[in-house]
Amino acid sequence: METAEHSIVVQAPLAAAHQQWQTWVAQKVGPAQAPSGQTVTAPVPEELPPEMGEPEQGRIFFAAVDDHSTRVTMQLRYSPAAVQAAGLVPDYVSRRIGLYLQRFREFAES
């Protein structure tokens, strides 16, 4: 297993960004713990792309940048063999989580 990581800054305070994440994934993983302190972690929903044979596993971290913005970092463990067997480019997982976080930022800031 390897780990891909990507971060993005969301223009929302820590508690609001975390609440938006809960809303974003509520149907996939259920509620995560409420924020406490400067950093919060929550599970990442397991998603199975149709072309891959095993689920990815990951975590997401929320850290306050300032009073009005939050750094959201996603780490995703995956099987390079499954990526290769599916005929996908080596940076597929990294690009995918980057796009996922961009969609989350659009949702959280709307």
Report residue 68's pLDDT band, with 50, 70 and 90 as the boundaries: very high
Tens digit of pLDDT for each residue in 20-63?
888 887 745 434 443 333 444 555 555 544 444 455 567 888 99
Render pLDDT for 91-103 as a digit per residue (tens, 0 to 9): 888 888 888 889 8
Strand partners, 43: 59
**What's the whole-number mean pLDDT along residues 2-21?**
91
In three-state form (DSSP H/G/I as H, E/B as E, the rest C), the secondary structure along the chain is CEEEEEEEEECCCHHHHHHHHHHHHHHHHCCCCCCCCCEEEEECCCCCCCCCCCCCEEEEEEEEEECCEEEEEEEEEECHHHHHHCCCCCCHHHHHHHHHHHHHHHHHHC
Which amino acid appears at position 75 of this protein?
Q
Mean pLDDT of 57-79: 88
pLDDT confidence of residue 99: 87
